[in-house]
Structure 1
């Protein structure tokens, strides 16, 4: 199917929104020292500039996706843009730590509404086939590029302007995206629109927030601390209660029969596993370049550019091959390449140059990720009835965010423990830090291989003339 002017602009608006949402997860990191100096943050408060966004973003993704089905995809998309833009403006003008943290939480809420809405707009604009595969390829690439570009964009803005512009720059982008959406996105919603399951929404949102709170607390507290165990225990109780509530609800927020669709369940498991490694790569490579190789923030950001280009190339390869070979083959191939890249990363030493030890494996991991994401997104959303498109998009984005948060916290904890052990034994700081990093990369390689094994359970691609399976 050829993409016409309107659908091309729909794709541009959706990708722009996804890029902006993912960028704001990482762009603040390089600006944290300037924020601390300007607003007087203490160490724990500064960490919540990142965590407030992460908690709200992860917690409300599933609700945001379902809201798009019930209240209209374009309407919810515009609501997300309004929340994100207003919070960005307030954050950029804030002169008080509490106001900045509140703005970051609202920004995360806006992102949680915006991200699944942008995906479901593509899903309902493009029919299944080559055109949708290409659209998903660009959408997935924007998410990867947003993660990779955060350090570079933050470094440039802080160096040339001030830390406030990492927020203020969003405002004109939001206005442009909103104008595009008003002009080219057609309103769609589920034909059969039951009332919102308020109890289910409260339980699942509270449970996801509790889970992410417990996980991100690992950055400053041990596994056995009340914050970590309390958050995870609360998440288990709340999410279990959510499952039981959905079984009894006349109009469930998440109909549990959705998980009997093998492609949906398997694809979300793959997303959960592979994103737990992907987000850790940006973190550990950045630490290695700045802490061991001595790069400044701007140079480190520029050094990520080959990985950004590799994600785009991988996503376009995947989009082109997807109608020909199917999602399963691409996920297996891309995941295997990604695991090989992480294994290569695990060979780093303190004296390995950027070209020899970072460039090659970074391209391998990024190219593999670019191949995987359009394929796994297509697998997770194919064959799902239109009335549940937003819900399934919410599941995809929730799996990406939860996987990233859990993976980064677990791997950084493992790396920090190994680094501390070697430092206590008298190892040089560069040696200890590199050893912790390579241990994290080795574990990441194993996790990615587990995602490859999980992908083998995806249904084989159906012939074009095969009948649609009946829902049971």
Structure 2
């Protein structure tokens, strides 16, 4: 198999020499990675600024949650739909349209002076994220064939996306304190302008040449199911698992998901062919993605609680403490392709979860260690590396062995898994910490320790499950 991209093979030799083509691929990769990093930052950049935004724009304290919830629900709810649309109607076209929508909505958000305007901006930002993320990922996977080049591209993408969540928290605090929270929106406008100028020149269009109709009933039911599910999880995290809105939404999501499966069985051209989900690499690979994102994002939540409630850190100090974790995730994304190349995707995922569990165990004992901050930094650094090895392993596994015509669907599923994992981790670990007494004065530490122990145990269980359930690669089968 050649190591040149499909985009490269399409360029006549007399028009572009090999060096020029490689340079174009590098610029295209930079454009796609820039977009992915920016979208990841958007998930967390406003969190520390919410109180100030509420005071300046006019949100009641109880309504601040909607600034985050409206974005998360749309970003996760529409991602599978847009992933399939990218296959059918053009990945490049959807990517650029989504970036333009992100720029316009971010400008609206930065200028907002009333609550409805800011919420509208966040909803549209969420839709833009749902359109851009799977399109960008499928442009990556279709531009680079399976093998070292694709693993490297996915490794860089995973590293920057994971680092983006940490960077968002730090950047949000710095912008809010030094300039204005509005620049958390305006930065997106600048990035969108750059991508729209550079993207058309270096990105190549790819779409299905077959006349395929979009499965409207399937698209509606799965989108509503994801919206209801993500909304239910966010309500559990922001209110409690006892909240009736939480359970009503989760039950509605389960019913809609069942209707979706039945729909896909009978329609001629399903949105998600169930045979794809039956592939062990896709089904179990995406579950690995959900757990990888859920476990690490919940560790960040629990340590934020520990640093602020137990150690008295300010939000900005807590954000800066996670800078080492961000460095670890970048390093993990860089080494993951080599690890996968040496031991295979399944073993990389299993090893990632095992090392992540080992890195989480010392965090359970932080309060009994004299140099607790050094232990925290070292453990989160190692955990960040391991988590990214698992994440890149999941991305490679869940998108391998599928034709280019289904890469939008595959990356849509992977993006959905990522966003569900991010949404799931915090409310689940919050419930564990609360049950252990974290909401009671003087018992926060105990609640955090119990939740971290459960998190580590979950990583061990995930490693055992995926060691048995994921298919072995050819390299692993011959070992």
- Who is 2:453 aligned against? 442
Give the number of aligned pairs: 459
- Who is 1:48 aligned against? 66
Asked if 2 retains the 8 angstrom alpha-carbon contact of 1:207 and 1:235, the reply is yes
Closer, same or farther: CA 49–354 of 1 in aligned 2, 3 Å: farther
Structure 1 residue 103: deviation in Å?
0.9
- Who is 1:459 aligned against? 471
Closer, same or farther: CA 184–40 of 1 in aligned 2, 3 Å: same
- Who is 1:470 aligned against? none
- Who is 1:94 aligned against? 112
For 2:45 and 2:403, the matched residues in 1 are separated by: 36
TM-score (norm 2): 0.92
TM-score (norm 1): 0.93
Matched, 1:394 2:412: yes
1:158-214, Cα deviation, whole Å (9 max, x unpaired): 111111111111100111122221110000012324111111111000000001111
What stretches of structure 2 of length at least 5 have no aligned partner?
6-21
Structure 1 residue 464: deviation in Å?
11
For 1:51 and 1:354, the matched residues in 2 are separated by: 34
- Who is 2:152 aligned against? 134
Matched, 1:162 2:180: yes
For 1:410 and 1:465, the matched residues in 2 are separated by: 36
* Range with bigger deviation, 354-363 or 270-279: 354-363
Matched, 1:237 2:255: yes
- Who is 1:16 aligned against? 34
Matched, 1:408 2:408: no
1:340-362, Cα deviation, whole Å (9 max, x unpaired): 11222122228865524411211
* Aligned counterpart in structure 2 of residue 171 of structure 1, from 189, 200, 203: 189
1:379-432, Cα deviation, whole Å (9 max, x unpaired): 110111111100000000101111221121111122133235653xxxx3xxx2
- Who is 1:276 aligned against? 294
1:279-311, Cα deviation, whole Å (9 max, x unpaired): 112222223223332333333332222111111
Asked if 1 retains the 8 angstrom alpha-carbon contact of 2:49 and 2:173, the reply is yes
- Who is 2:10 aligned against? none
Mapping 1:319-468, distance limit 5 Å: 319-349=337-367, 353-420=371-438, 422-423=440-441, 428=442, 432-456=443-467, 457-462=469-474
For 2:390 and 2:475, the matched residues in 1 are separated by: 22
For 2:362 and 2:333, the matched residues in 1 are separated by: 22
Structure 1 residue 276: deviation in Å?
1.1
Asked if 2 retains the 8 angstrom alpha-carbon contact of 1:192 and 1:387, the reply is no
Q: CA RMSD in A?
A: 1.9
For 2:434 and 2:418, the matched residues in 1 are separated by: 24
Asked if 2 retains the 8 angstrom alpha-carbon contact of 1:263 and 1:459, the reply is yes
